[in-house]
Amino acid sequence: MKKTILIALLLIATFATSCATDRPVTAVKENARGFEKLAHEHYNRGDFQNAILFFRKALVEDQKVNNFEGIASDLYNIARCYTNFGLYENAEEVLGEAMEINLHMDNKSSLGDNYSLLASIQSREKDYDSALETYNKSLTFYEDAKNEKGYATTLNNIGSLYIKMGNYDQALEHIESSVSIHQRIKNHAGLAAGYNNLGYLHEHLHKDEKALEYYLLALEEDKYIENSLGISSDLHNIAGYYKKKGDLENALFYYKRALEVNRGLNLISRERQDLEQIIDILGTMGRDEDKELYEKALNELMGIEKET
């Protein structure tokens, strides 16, 4: 009887020790993912300052338990923030660390993400040949990982690159292929990006009516998934189309809608652009009283910008 009780007590002690050692690791990983979720929420609103803050908190937690997958993901996301800040050297340095870990783990899908971001940086730096080569590496990793979403997104990015290079036929081919995949897998964010790119391409082809059609499709997709940042861009593009066409009433309407979204998101730089466009249009229309109201709003906003 005593032997049975002793064995039972040992089993309880072993289980308790296991729980005591396993639980902290689980808790740390949970903390990391909680910070990561908050970071993504800020990132998707265009608040990159707070996004990078929470991605760094997630990184600290993942490093505590040597969570390779989490560390690589955090580093990649921090590099994305640096890219949006225009800190390309910092972004590439952090991204290199993420790549090293993903290569060690042979995580092909994440490597696809890494190379796609690196290509985006190279494109922003106007190193288009290197960007195209890097995007193609990204496609290979996505294909090996059978990651259709990543593959289609990269096709769209290559289309953007070809537009910058003036190769419109290749741009159209890649963007349409991207849209086709996104339609099949029902990825609305990818569709919005693809339609937006098609609109931009058709503007370059001087097919303005077609461009508007695609911008409206992009807006529809972004509204479907409540992508505020995308909606802001779509409204701005539609407003720009109408302004170029001389339809100032419609241009004013859509710039005001974009302004409302950007105020809600506290995107000061975009808000400033919208206000400048509205002021310009009201001046052209001779609506001086309305123009003065928006000039006052712009001056107040510029004061906020100086403070920050």
Whose tokens are 């059609």? That residue is 213
Residues listed for the chain: 308
Are 57 and 35 in contact, with CB atoms under 8 Å apart? yes
Whole-number Å distance between alpha carbons of 125 and 159: 17
Whole-number Å distance between alpha carbons of 47 and 41: 9
Q: What are phi and psi of 266, to 5 degrees?
A: 60, 40
At 88, the pLDDT band (50, 70, 90 cuts) reads: very high
Question: Does the pLDDT value for residue 257 go beyond 80?
Answer: yes
Which residues have a Cβ under 8 Å from the Cβ of 75 and sit 6 or more positions away?
A: 59, 94, 95, 97, 98, 101
Q: What is the pLDDT of residues 229-249, one digit of tens each?
A: 999 999 999 999 999 999 999
* Domains annotated on the chain, with CATH: 26-105 (1.25.40.10), 107-226 (1.25.40.10), 235-308 (1.25.40)
Q: What is the pLDDT of residues 160-202, one digit of tens each?
A: 999 999 999 999 999 999 999 999 999 999 999 999 999 999 9
The pTM assigned to this predicted structure is 0.86
- The number of beta carbons lying within 10 Å of the beta carbon of residue 245 is 13
At 306, the pLDDT band (50, 70, 90 cuts) reads: low
Centroid of chain to Cα 276 = 25
At 153, the pLDDT band (50, 70, 90 cuts) reads: very high
Token readout for 134 is 């890097």
Q: What is the pLDDT of residues 41-87, one digit of tens each?
A: 999 988 999 999 999 999 999 999 999 999 999 999 999 999 999 99
Whole-number Å distance between alpha carbons of 228 and 127: 31
Whole-number Å distance between alpha carbons of 199 and 123: 20
